[in-house]
A and B are shown apart, each in its own frame.
Chain A
Amino acid sequence: MENDETSELSPADALASTRAGREAIARRIRVPWQWDAGEAVSIGIFMALIAYTSPPWTTMVISGWAIVFLGMVEARRRRTGIVAGGNTRRTFDPLHLVVLVVTLGVFTLGMIAGARWWDGIPVVTAVIAAGVILGGYRWINRRAVARVLAGS
């Protein structure tokens, strides 16, 4: 088997084979926007609920959301068949951190502003945060697909 495949394989053919492999991975990691929207909306709802609940309900909201969110992450992993823990150079995009910081910043500002001025502010900030996450996730996904296809 090995000899049959290696004997006539030129360097150009070999590189073409690697490109085919990268294209297969790119097809797998290309996430439909509905998946990202689902995660973004779930985080937005969670943020809004957290702003209007107090213990012991807060714990229940956090637990319930964690189960839903982890379920979504696992469903995405099963769909792609790929494990991308984000702890290697290949799969980690620093943009993840930017999205995280911006989202937490928006959430914190919403909580502070909601306590001082208007009760509805946390809902507005939750919507903004969901938008940031959706935009960020789509951008990260496009970058990942482009990076895989480029083989860089």
Chain B
Amino acid sequence: MKRFKTTKGLIGIFLLTIIALVAILGPMILPPDAATKMDMLARRSPPNWNHLLGTDQLGRDMLARVILGARTSLEIAVSAVLMSIVLGLPLGLVSGYSGGWNDNVLMRLVDTLLAFPALLLALTISAVLGPNVQNTIIAIGVAFTPYLARIIRGEALKVAQMPYVEAARASGTTDGMIMLRHVLPNILPAVIVQATISLAFAILAEAGLSFLGLGTQPPAASWGLMIQASRDQLDVAPWTALVPGAAVALTVLGLNMFGDVLRDILDPKSK
């Protein structure tokens, strides 16, 4: 199992590196119209030498689209998770460290938000704001905030009871300083682990939102949009679903593998 874990971590890092490189370098290398150019004579053509992963219903190259989709999907996922950290970190930190009424009120609010399925909350926000890339980020970011706040609060609560925090308090350090200097660095490992896992969920959420037409809008390329477009042509062109599906799966798999190993390293207690 130990070897399995190391292998798992390596596979995870390998997958993530490849995908990050593709997402960053791909759009630079590809000609600007690679993902939108329609080859009307080669519509729904299966993978071949001209189109390595085949073409979609408009004769657009699947490889180019899946590469550009990587950028969209990753950009949205990373921004959304960063947003949920920016919102959830202060919430959880203050709640867990100060306890008492602050904690009660803040956690009641967080618990209420947790009753809304994350996807439902994201869909509703996106529908109300109007679906586009920026609002998709906001929708997913807000929807993920309560989960992050809850976990950070739990960690902060543990750290707040440590002798070194007590010592800092006894020596007259202000609460703000203690949170920043002593509590924050000690909960960071947990935040990083959670961020990795959230990133996996954010990729899935973006795909779900776009699949339902309430995320990224056409003609932009996003994995969820590509799967949606494939729905009506499954029998004749299954690769149009399998290619973006595999892209989502490999990315999320990479993040999950990496997250599992990261947790074992950064947070050995949870084993």
Partners in one complex: no
Interface residues of B (CB under 8 A from A): none
